[in-house]
Amino acid sequence: MLRVALTGGIGSGKTAVSDYLETLGVMVLDADRFAHQVTAKGEDAVTEIANLLGPAVIDADGHLDRAAVREQVFTDPEKRAALESIVHPRVRHKMNEAASQATGPYVIFSIPLLIETGQAGNFDRVVVVEAARELRAERVLERSGLDQQAFSSIDDAQASDADRRNTATDLLNNDGNLESLHAEVYALHKRLTALSREKAQTADNADNTNPPR
């Protein structure tokens, strides 16, 4: 089985890619979903985050105020790094635990901050979704409550397009429509499936060449 990372800048279309892969029967593990799980009400990470950022990031019902957290960490690199040290190890553990149950030829780890957290080397392939910054901003402003300033703060804190491209083994361009993106993703799916079979065959050949004594 191949471990495949999926990443890209904010608004690049990672969700559109992963949603289509799921219709093809691929297991997709979304780091953002797991991050919400590990920072849900009652989780120990929430207490650690409150100790780091102050009680104001917890609302009256005991839930993490994600907007308040975002406002603090995206203007303070040290706080952002400290927050990531709380959340990311828990997310990685849960994602790896889920991946161990996968039965398909490959599993997708959708990780927005893959490059920033130095995780690219943990995967067999790195798929990067690209789109022009102006287009990404337009998409984000249309779908969420973020304004241009908030988008810029998030985008500026992430890896550059060049850094992601230099790490990629596979690139998906999402400057066009959904149909063209799906065509690229389907071709990627076929390629990854074939690579997984090649990897399994190589492992089988190695086992046959070096039988146990």
- Give pLDDT tens digits for 158-179: 999 999 999 999 999 999 999 9
In the chain, residues under CATH classification 3.40.50.300 are: 1-26+106-202
What is the chain's mean pLDDT, rounded? Answer: 92
pTM value > 0.85: yes
CB 159 within 8 A of CB 115: yes
CA pair distance 120, 123, nearest whole angstrom: 6
Total length of the chain: 213
pLDDT tens-digit series, residues 12-22: 999 999 999 99
CATH number of 1-26+106-202: 3.40.50.300
The pLDDT of 137-154, averaged and rounded, is 88
72's CB contacts (< 8 A; 6+ apart) are: 53, 57, 79
Q: How many CA atoms lie within 13 A of 144 on its CB side?
A: 14
Q: Strand 170-173 vs strand 2-8: parallel, antiparallel, or unpaired?
A: unpaired
The structure tokens listed for 82 are: 């400290």
pLDDT of residue 105: 94
